[in-house]
A and B are shown apart, each in its own frame.
Chain A
C-alpha cells in the first residue's frame, strides 16, 4: 500500500498532539507502518503548528511536503488557508470554521482574510467545513474541538466506529472519556 498523508494544522494549544496520538494508535492497531511528526517547544505558544501523520507499508520521511497531503485537518480557518499548498490534487481539507486571530491581526498590522471557505472552494479544493467549536461545546467542552474534527476525518476511512472508540479509550484519561466519545460521534455524524 502506498503511503497516506494526513496533516493536522492549527494554533498551538488547540490539542493537535492528542489528535495525532489518537490517529497513531488507531493506525498501529491496524498494523501499518507509521510516522507521526510533532512540534514541541516555542512554536507551541499560540503559534501556527503542524503535525504530520503518515502510514502505509513502509514510511520513510517523517514529514509531508507540498503537494503530498491526502487530507488536511485544520483546527482553525486561517490555518487551513495557510497550508493548502500541501494538499495533493484531489485531496480533502476538513476545516473547523472557528476563527482565532493571530497577533498581527489583533494589533491591527494585518487583516483576517474574509471568505476563506469560498476561496478554497473557488480554487477547486475539496473542502469539508464544519463548526467544530459549537459541536465541542455541545459535547461538553470547547476544548474537545480536536476530537470533533477527528470524528469528522474518520468518515474518510473504512475503520469502524468501535475501532475508533477503542483507540479513544486508550488515548484519553478516564474522566474525559465520555466527553471525548460524544465529541467524536458529533463530528462523525454531523
Chain B
C-alpha cells in the first residue's frame, strides 16, 4: 500500500517493520514525531525518557537483552547522550540498535546549527542519511541489518526538511527478531583491559563498513549527459540538486555518510571535469574528498550557514534564478509569541517588573526573552539555567541579589536536578523557578516524569517536585499560581532576598492542554479605558489598542485575568458567569 508519510513517521514505520520492540527517547524538534508515531504500534514498547543519555542507555540495555532497540533525539540531544555513545561504539550490540538524530539546519526550533555527522566519524559509528520518507523507511530497516551484521549501533541521521516533509512510502510487513543474552565480560565490560582489546575491533569494523560502502546500492551514481560537472551530495541537498539539474550532470548520491567510500569516489571523480560537493552545514564529504587528494568545489561556494534551497543551488551553479514581485510596503515581522493564557506570562511580567537577572533555559518559556517581557538574560542548553545561576551567584554577579534560574518541568527533569543538587551541596544563593505547566510544551505536548502520564497516555508514577527539591537539601520551597501577580511578586521578592538557595514552583497547566477549561473572554470597557497601555506590558496576543482603547480578541482570550490585574481603571473585567 502506498501512503503519504512524514519522514519521521516513515522512520517509525521502518522501526515497526524491522521488528524493533523497544524505543526510548526525549522529545526534541525535529525528531519528536518518530517516537510519537512508533508508540501507536502496539507491538513496540515506547517511552519518554527524562533525557537523551538515559534514552540511549536504555536502548542499549534492550539491545543487550536481545530486542531490536531505538532511541531518537535532536542534534543537541546527541551531545547529552555522547557519553554512552562513544563506549557503545566499542561494545557493539546484541540485537540491532539504531540511534535517530535530527539536525536543524536553519535553526527553525534550535539554539545552534551543529552538524551531527561529525559524531559518526568521532564515535566510529556508521551513519545512514535518508533524503525522503521512502528512504527513511528503507534505511531504518537496513540500519538494523547493518547493526547486527557489523555488531555496531547505527545512526539514522535526519534533518528538518526530511523529518517534516511528507512524501510517498510503500508499506511492508513486520518481522519479529529476538536474540538471547549471553554474559560476555570481554565485550560488555569496558574496563581498560577489555576496552584496549575492543578498540582494534572497532577499527577493523570501520574498515569492513567502508568496503561495504564501496558497493552498497544506497551510494549510487545517477548518470548525466554533461560531464563538465559531477556532484556528490546526500540528504535533502540531493533533492535540491536534482530539482535544479535534473539529469544534466552526473550525481553521486550518498546514502551512507560514514564511513564514506574511497574507490567509488575516486572513480566518479575521474569521469567528471569539476567535482562539486553539495552538502548543508559543514564540509564533511568535502574534507573526505580533499583527504583523498581530490580537487573539488565545496564550501568556498556553498555556505556552511543555514539550509539550502533550489534557488541557492541554481544560483551557485550559474543558472538564472527567477523571483516574484516584492511589495513596497514595510511588512512587520511575526515572531513566535507566548500563547494567550500562557501561565508563564504572569511570572515573566513579575520578573521584569522586579528587574531580576534571570538565567533561562530551553522550552516555550524561552519566549520570555522576547519584548515586551524581555525578562531573560541567557539561554544556552537544557539545565544551564540552574548550573549557570550557581556560578553567577558564587562569582557575585548582580551583587549576589535578585538572580534566578527559570526552567520548565520537563527540562528540570532532563538536566536541572543535578544543578540543583550542586546549589544545595555547594551552598550558593539564588532562586530556581520551576515553571511547571504539567507538560513538555514547545515540542507539542509530550508527557514527562512530573505529569503522571506516560507516552501511551496511561497513568503512571509522578515525580513530586516539592519533595524532590527538599530531598536534595533546599529548605525554602514554595508554590505559586502564575495567574496571581501579587502572589508571584511576593514570592520573588522574598525568595531572592533570602540568604540560602530557594525554589519557587510556578504551577499551572499549559493553556493549550485539552483538559484545561478556559474562562470567558475578558470584557474591555471602552468608557473606563484611558488608553494607558498598562495591559500591553504583558505582550498578550489577545490584547491590542484600537482607537486608543484596549480591545480583546475573543477568539484568543482565555480569560486568565492577568491583564485585568494590571488595569487601575477597572476597564478589563472578567465576564460574569451565566
With a CB–CB cut-off of 8 A, which chain A residues contact B443? 41
Residues 76-135 (chain A) with a chain B CB within 8 angstroms: 78-79, 81-82, 84-89, 91, 101-113, 116, 119-120, 123-125
Assess whether B325 is in contact with A103, with CB atoms less than 8 Å apart. Answer: no
From A78, A86, A106, A125, B331 is in contact (CB under 8 Å) with: A78
Q: Is the CB of A84 within 8 A of B324?
A: yes
> Is residue B239 within 8 Å, beta carbon to beta carbon, of the partner chain?
yes
| A44: Cβ under 8 A from any B Cβ | yes
Q: Which of A56-64, A156-164, A173-181 lies at the interface with chain B?
A: A56-64
> Does residue B271 face the partner (Cβ distance < 8 Å to A)?
no
Q: What are 30 of the A-B contact pairs (CB < 8 Å)?
A: A33-B168, A34-B166, A36-B165, A37-B165, A39-B164, A40-B33, A44-B444, A45-B339, A45-B367, A45-B442, A61-B236, A63-B310, A66-B323, A67-B321, A67-B323, A78-B334, A84-B325, A88-B322, A91-B324, A101-B541, A103-B335, A103-B370, A103-B371, A105-B332, A106-B541, A108-B545, A111-B330, A119-B328, A120-B327, A142-B555
Pick the most buried of B167, B322, B338: most chain A CB atoms within 10 A of its CB. Answer: B167
Pair A63/B309 contact, Cβ less than 8 Å: yes
Given A60-B239, A60-B242, A107-B536, A67-B328 contact (CB < 8 Å): no
Other than A78-B332, A89-B322, give 18 A-B pairs with Cβ distance below 8 A: A11-B334, A36-B167, A37-B164, A43-B108, A46-B337, A46-B541, A47-B336, A63-B161, A88-B322, A102-B334, A103-B334, A105-B544, A106-B536, A107-B536, A109-B332, A111-B330, A113-B329, A123-B325
Nearest chain B CB to A20 CB, angstrom units: 8
Q: Could you tell me the distance in whole angstroms from the C-beta of B256 to the nearest C-beta in chain A?
A: 21
- Write the chain A residue with the least CB distance to B370: A103
B-side contacts of A60, CB under 8 Å: 239-240, 242-243
A42 contact from B6, B109, B165, Cβ within 8 A: B109
A82 to B334, CA, bound (A): 10
Interface residues on A, range: 35 or more
Partner of A67, one of B29, B162, B324, B364: B324
Is A169 located at the chain interface by the 8 A CB criterion?
A: no
CA distance A31 to B3 in the complex (A): 11
B30 at the interface (CB under 8 A from A): yes
Please measure, in the bound complex, the distance between the C-alpha atom of A66 and the C-alpha atom of B545, giving whole angstroms.
35
Interface presence of B4 (CB below 8 A): yes
Task: Confirm or deny: A188 has a beta carbon within 8 angstroms of a beta carbon on chain B.
Answer: no
CA distance A34 to B326 in the complex (A): 28
Q: Give the Cβ gap from A121 to chain B, nearest Cβ, in Å.
A: 11
Q: Interface on chain B toward A: helix, strand, loop, or mixed SS?
A: loop
**Footprint of B on A, CB under 8 Å?**
11-13, 20, 24-25, 28, 33-48, 59-63, 65-69, 78-79, 81-82, 84-89, 91, 101-113, 116, 119-120, 123-125, 142
Interface core residue of B242, B336, B337 (most chain A CB under 10 Å): B336
Q: Which of B24-64 contact A (CB under 8 A)?
A: 29-30, 32-33
With beta carbons under 8 angstroms apart, the residue of B243, B325, B444, B544 that contacts A125 is B325
Number of A-B residue pairs with CB-CB distance less than 8 Å in the complex they form? 196
Contact of A39 among B108, B364, B370 (CB under 8 A): B108
Task: Give the docked Cα–Cα distance between A48 and B335 (Å).
Answer: 7
Query: Which residues of chain A are within 8 angstroms of B184 by Cβ–Cβ distance?
Result: none
A59-B167, A106-B539, A120-B327 given; A41·B4 CB < 8 A: no
Q: A85 and B239: CB pair below 8 A?
A: no
Cα separation A28 to B328 with both chains bound (whole Å) = 38
Q: Tell me, in angstroms, the Cα distance from A102 to B539 when the chains sit together.
A: 10
State A44–B328 Cα separation when bound (angstroms): 27
How far is B108's CA from A37's CA once the two chains are assembled, in angstroms?
A: 13
Give Cα distance in the complex from A81 to B331, angstroms.
7
B311 CB–A CB distance under 8 Å? yes
Q: A47-B336, A81-B327, A102-B334 are in contact. Are A108 and B536 (CB under 8 A)?
A: yes
Contact A61 B544 (CB under 8 A): no
Q: Is the CB of A38 within 8 A of B323?
A: no
Q: Which of A36, A69, A86, A111 contacts B4 (CB 8 A)?
A: A36
Which residue of chain B has the shortest Cβ distance to A125 in the bound complex?
B325
Partner of A41, one of B29, B162, B326: B29
CB-defined contacts of B364 to chain A, threshold 8 Å: 45
Q: Is B372 an interface residue (CB 8 A)?
A: yes
6 A-B pairs closest in CB distance? A41-B109, A41-B29, A47-B336, A62-B165, A67-B322, A102-B334
Contact residue among B132, B167, B372 (Cβ-Cβ distance under 8 Å from A107):
B372
